[in-house]
Structure formats: C-alpha cells, structure tokens
Amino acid sequence: MERFLQYALAGLSAGSLYALVALGLVLIYRSTRVLNFAHADMATVGTFIAFSVITSGLPFWMAFTMALVAGAVIAVLFYFGALGPAQRKGANHLGQVILTLGLSLILQGLTVYRWGAEPERFPFPLSDTKVWKVGPIFVSELALGTLAAAAAASLVLFLLIQKTRLGLAMRATSENLQAAQTLGIPTRGVLAFAWGVAAALAVVAGVFLAPSSFLDPFFMLDAMFKGLAAAVLGGLNSLPGAVLGGLILGVAESLGGAYVSLEFKTSLAFILIVVVLLARPEGLLGKEFQERV
C-alpha cells in the first residue's frame, strides 16, 4: 500500500502539470473552437524568459511574473494579429489550426535562435532532492510546490470564471458569440483575454516542469501531447474535466510504470483513454456542443 501511495502521489504531481496544460487548451477551445498547437511553444518562450531573468541575478518571483506576462502577451498579439482577422474573413477551423501550427514553428525558431538548442539546467528555489516524510510516504519539495501551484492556478481560474463579470462575459461569449455581441459584450477583447490566461497557465506548467528536466526548446512537447490527451479524456468543453483528465492520466502513467513496465507506462495511460472514449466519446465530463443557427 505504501508503494502504491508513493507512486500515486508522484502521478498526481505530474498530472497536475498536464491539467494546467489541458485547462489552457480547453479554455481556448471553449471560446474559439480552435485547438492551439502553439500552446507548448508559448510556455517554452515564457520559461526561457524566466531562465534568463534568474540567471541575470534577479529574484525568482520577478522572473516568474515576467514569464507569465510574456506568455500572455504572445497569445494576445497572436489573437489580435492573426487569428481574429482570419476569423472575421471567414477562415474555417482547419485554417485557424494551421495558423497556430505556423506560430508554433515561428516560436520554435526564435527560441533556438535566441537561446540555442543545448539543454540547460533551470535554477529553481524548490529542490527535487529534498524530501519530507508525510505519513507512510516521502514527498519532494518540488512535488509539493508543483501540486500547490497547480491547485492555486486552478482556483484562481475558477474564481475568475465563476465569480467575476469578466468571467460571465467569457462564459457568454463561449456559449453564443453572436448573442454576446448583441448584448454589447466586447467579444474580441474577451477572447483575447482568454488566450492570454490560457498561455499563462501553460507557462506555470513550464516553469514547474523545467527543474525536473533539462530546459531546451522542445521540453514542453511531451507535456503538450499529454495535456491534449487529458483535455480529450475529460472533455474538450469542460474545465473540471481537464483537471480530472490530467490527474487520471498522471496517476495511470505513474502506476503503469511501477506495476507494469517503464516502457509501457505511456501506452497504458493512452489505452485507458481509448477505453473511456469508447464509452463516452465526449469525455468524462464533456457535453456535446449545441450550435445555435
């Protein structure tokens, strides 16, 4: 049982990062019906900016703040400069997805040009080697910090969407864009804000993932794929589903590596997703979109 709890906790820590990525993907999909394939690269640029600020001698909190702002600004500029105009000109969903792929390639190139392709160690105030004993299990300082950061980011997003006028405008815009415009809601600004918040969530995941791996221009790709899988598992139009999907995927991956094999752990997690989607094609908490004509 102790071994099971130990691996389950490790899975929750990894799954919380997948959940943050999934939350951003779902937030964008709910508002614009677009899958953002530049999501990981926005997080990568933000994380590299945090790396540059920290290595220049400035404190972590300043680096973290600048990383969040940078990720959000990239997303907002992309919406106003490319996606929004394309939508107004009637671009179909595939064309909009291709725009995000183009942004992904641009950001990858800029990252390699500015910081190079060599892996770097990300300096972080929390250690993954310092551990505490909590009951029968051991937990690292970094794992606790990751869980706390993911929980705090999820809570802030929940409060923003459910308890503020801006959140109400975001929900109205995602439900019916034309009706929201008729009511006088500035939908372009609301959608741009949703893109910025989604990118900031991905940056949080990137900053807390970087210390446990080498920082390179592609370090977020695995988290991106698993965040997308978590979003599909939970339901692409459900924010709670994104969190649930991320945690389930992380725990399934960890337990699969412990009790089956390390080589099979990712496969086992995705087999679980296939089984769930066969029973519920819309995801665990997802609902079929109702488009009003």
Return d(Cα 117, Cα 68) in angstroms, integer: 22
H helices of the chain, in order, are: 2-32, 39-55, 60-78, 84-88, 93-115, 141-163, 165-175, 177-182, 187-209, 221-234, 239-259, 265-279
Given a cut of 90, is residue 82 above it in pLDDT? yes
Q: What is the pLDDT of residue 293?
A: 44
Given a cut of 60, is residue 291 above it in pLDDT? no
Q: What is the pLDDT of residue 271?
A: 82
Q: What is the pLDDT of residue 289?
A: 53
Mean pLDDT of 5-25: 92
- Tell me the domain boundaries of the chain: 22-224
Per residue in 109-128, pLDDT (tens digit) is 999 999 998 999 999 998 87
Return d(Cα 110, Cα 234) in angstroms, integer: 33
* Mean pLDDT, rounded, of the chain: 90
Q: Name which of 148-162, 166-180, 266-280 the model is least confident about.
A: 266-280
- Percent of all residues in the chain with a pLDDT value above 90, rounded to a whole number: 61
